[in-house]
Chain A
């Protein structure tokens, strides 16, 4: 049985955790990629920091890419390292592509497409 990562709690990231070796994965999977044992569904917190990033400067080939209604605009993407110890690929919804930095606090949410990350508001950072 495969869990659809987009069906559970709105906006929440549905991953999986292996009870044997504590590996957390996203999206959810039935088996652990390290030991091959069974993995249980796990809701991920979604807050973390940017581990690495790049900017997609040119329009990807279509298909499979579907440009947004306003046409292609360069966008940032990266891996967000979550508290659970998993780095999740996400499109970065940031105002300024020049302000993207490794280590910046981000919140990742699931939606109709790939995960998207937005800068975590200062009040939620505990700073």
Chain B
């Protein structure tokens, strides 16, 4: 069986709008993670990191220190952080290095992303006719899901209401004011059935982790968390993804289902063992569907679970305890590592006002993005 990998340091910056450059945010997050682990930069023997649109991670050595370590750039869309993490895990397991950094950062302009059709292998007409808009995909996926599984708009509003409530308990979150379900429903339709306050916004931020072999961790003072597994998958035939001119008929496949199942299998645990989780919530509908795709409930059970408060911090399955993407915004490269940062704090019992009660032992993270990539981790203390 593979070697255990321990997370000895975790750091993040506030997310939102920032005067600082994306690279400056990255340096701040790395320094926070190093301080958390109680080590200095020269102790790091390899690094993996990336951003979608805020520069090259390997250039951070100019600020961190020119120690000569191997530093690999990762560019994997919304899964950038997750892919950097898995690369770091493999570097430790292969014996390449015993102390490894994973860092993700980004800084995006206001408004929705504006991808170019030619980058996606699509004709120019998909851009000129207005179909290169990510929010359309999110609206269409949950629209069908609501009909098939009896999910109501009020449930979508409750997901966002919880996100803003948890954001208010998270000092580094962007959206920290409570917003009621009624206000969320009335905030203006963006892409039916999703309203403005149900969406996260592209923003700025950075997160970093220091990962160690068991031997290296023993020489450090902090409180390590064990990374029981980390899995990344790309879509199989039959999935429904953003910017698809067509999708196959029949039952949909899900890359999140595949990645989460692989992570649970590698960890030797199941969704029922999880005490706290982070699920990709680009918008309210994504959190609802990912609850089922990651195995935490059957399709349609979300309607009852969410209304009953099961996914709140004091519930049976707390989801997105830091407010998720909806309250933190989405710096693409940083999101996946922010999720791991949050679960690490929860498992250490250091999550402050948003701490899940009764000392959670097992945590789970799930990131999902275009064009059908998902990375999942299982963590334990």
Interface status of B216 (Cβ within 8 A of chain A): no
Considering the complex, give the chain B residue whose CB is closest to the CB of A64: B127
Q: Which residue of A lies closest to B127 (CB)?
A: A64
Q: How far is the CA of A57 from the CA of B193 in the complex (A)?
A: 11
Q: Which of B140-148, B255-263, B353-361 contacts A (4 or more CB under 8 A)?
A: B140-148
CA distance A112 to B129 in the complex (A): 10
A48-86 interface code vs B (CB 8 A; 1 in, 0 out): 000111111110110111100000000101110100011
Chain A residues lying within 8 Å of B193, measured Cβ to Cβ, are 54
Question: How many pairs, one residue from A and one from B, have CB atoms within 8 Å of each other in the complex?
Answer: 104
**A55 vs B147: C-alpha distance in the bound complex, in angstroms?**
17
Does B111 lie at the interface of the complex (its beta carbon under 8 Å from any beta carbon of A)?
Answer: yes
User: What residues of chain B lie closer than 8 Å to A75, measured between beta carbons?
Assistant: 130
Q: Which residues of A contact B191 (CB under 8 A)?
A: 54-57
Residue B114, interface by CB 8 Å: yes
Among residues of A, the one whose C-beta sits closest to the C-beta of B245 is A89
Report how far A25 CA is from B237 CA in the complex, Å: 12
Task: Give CA–CA (A113, B124) in the complex, Å.
Answer: 9
Distance between A46 CB and nearest chain B CB, rounded to angstroms: 13
Query: Quick one: which of A17-40 are within 8 Å of B by CB?
Result: 23, 25-27, 33-34
In this assembly, does A114 line the interface, its C-beta being within 8 Å of a C-beta of chain B? Answer: yes
Cα(A77)–Cα(B126), bound, Å: 12
- Minimum CB distance partner of B238 in chain A: A34
In the complex, are the beta carbons of A23 and B124 less than 8 A apart? no
Residues 130-150 of B contacting A (Cβ, < 8 Å): 130-133, 136, 139-141, 143-144, 147
- For the complex, give the distance between the alpha carbons of A113 and B147 in Å: 30
Whether A102 lies near B147 (C-beta < 8 A) is: yes
**Are A57's CB and B127's CB within 8 A?**
no
Let me know if A91 is at the binding interface, CB within 8 A.
yes
Which residue of chain B has its CB nearest to the CB of A35? Answer: B237
Q: Is the CB of A55 within 8 A of B189?
A: yes
In the assembled complex, the Cα of A112 lies from the Cα of B123 at a distance in Å of: 11
Taking the complex as formed, is B117 at the interface, i.e. its CB lies under 8 A from any CB of chain A? yes
Q: Once the chains bind, are B143 and A85 in contact (CB under 8 Å)?
A: no
Cβ of B268 under 8 Å from chain A: no
**CB neighbours of A66 from chain B (8 A):** 128-129
Task: Report Cα–Cα, A55/B123, bound state, in Å.
Answer: 21
- B189: chain A residues at CB < 8 Å are 55, 57
B127 proximity list for chain A (CB < 8 A): 63-65
B165-200 contact mask (Cβ, 8 Å, vs A): 1 or 0: 000000000000000000000001111110000000
Residues 228-287 (chain B) with a chain A CB within 8 angstroms:
237, 244-250
Query: Is residue B304 contacting chain A, with contact meaning CB distance below 8 A?
Result: no
A interface footprint on B70-108 (CB within 8 Å = 1, 0 otherwise): 000000000000000000000000000000000000000
B112 within 8 A of A: yes
Contact of B116 with A by CB under 8 A? yes
Chain A residues near B19 (CB-CB < 8 A):
none
Does B125 make an interface contact (CB < 8 A)?
A: yes
Partner of A113, one of B112, B129, B136: B129
A78 adjacent to B140 (CB under 8 Å): yes
Q: Is the CB of A52 within 8 A of B131?
A: no
A106 contacts B by Cβ under 8 Å = no
- A52→B136 contact, CB < 8 A: no
**Binary contact readout B184-221 vs A (1 if CB under 8 angstroms, 0 otherwise):** 00001111110000000000000000000000000000
* Cβ contacts A to B, 16 pairs, < 8 Å: A26-B245, A33-B237, A51-B144, A54-B136, A61-B112, A64-B128, A75-B130, A86-B247, A87-B249, A88-B245, A89-B131, A89-B244, A102-B144, A112-B125, A113-B128, A114-B131
Closest 4 CB pairs of A and B: A64-B127, A54-B139, A52-B144, A85-B249
Question: In the complex, given contacts A60-B132, A113-B129, what are 18 additional A-B residue pairs having Cβ atoms less than 8 angstroms apart?
Answer: A34-B248, A56-B130, A57-B189, A61-B111, A65-B130, A77-B140, A78-B140, A79-B246, A81-B249, A85-B250, A86-B247, A87-B246, A87-B247, A88-B246, A89-B246, A102-B147, A114-B129, A114-B245
